[in-house]
Amino acid sequence: MDNMWIAALDPADRRRIEPHLHERPFAQGQMLYDAGEAVEEVWFPMSGVVSLMTILDGDRMIETAAIGREGLVGVTCGPMNARAASRAIAQVDGVSACCPSDVFAEALQASEPMRTALAKFTESLFAQVQQAAACNAQHRLDERLARWLLTIHDRADSNRFSLTQSDIAGMLGVRRATVSEVGAVLEGDGLIRRGRGWVEVKDRKALEAAACGCYDAMRGLMKDLGVPRPRVGTH
């Protein structure tokens, strides 16, 4: 699969970075970089999902954004080679095309259209972070869980993906037992199916209806900005 952000560039801009790309697989739970580290590579996921995590007291953390084939990871914390403000963790197994950050910085400096494309993506990502903060503070857990599952489903290659109750609890910043209870309700209503270490989306339309308005708000913003939108998973 291709990365949608790279694919949307003009051919001349793609040629600035494509010779420097190398593929790198990532596995669920793998940390691409940690908060405070220098970011030496830009990751362009071609499959899988990467979560940006905000670190809280006691090394607790909560997801503030998810990135898949539609975007890139490693340039949203400041100028090239800046230290990361968040932790990037693989949420769903995948493969990324990686580019040295200094090469990408040179390409940006040489191309105004590429700078514009990056600015649009970072604006949409910043809006996702803001929306997630408001969602976590104001909406019921069942709505948040439905919204989060839709976000992962959009970026996954299948209706079924590997997720444990602990994974979901960590992403949403709640107790595992609470996630289990709310997940049982969604499963009882036929929206999802769960097994040991996996979740399957069974009724996409019903899951959309169960989610808070944050999901549609973010999809609408990405459309307005003209940035690639993650494609809905196969169903």
pLDDT digits (tens, 9 = 90+) for 107-143: 999 999 999 999 999 998 888 888 888 887 788 888 9
- Burial pattern 104-119, b for ≥16 Cβ within 10 A else e, equals bbebbeebeebeebbe
CA distance 100 to 108: 13
Q: Which helix (H) or strand (E) holds 69?
A: none
Tens digit of each residue's pLDDT (9 = 90 or more) over 2-17: 899 999 999 999 999 9
Task: Single out the residue of 56, 68, 43, 73 nearest to residue 154, CA to CA.
Answer: 68
pTM, full prediction: 0.88
Task: Single out the residue of 72, 74, 94, 96 nearest to residue 24, CA to CA.
Answer: 96
Higher pLDDT, 164 or 6: 6
What strand order describes the sheet that includes 61-67? 31-33, 87-92, 49-55, 61-67
Residue 183 class from Cβ within 10 Å (0-12 exposed, 13-18 middle, 19+ buried)?
A: buried
Furthest C-alpha separation in the chain:
54
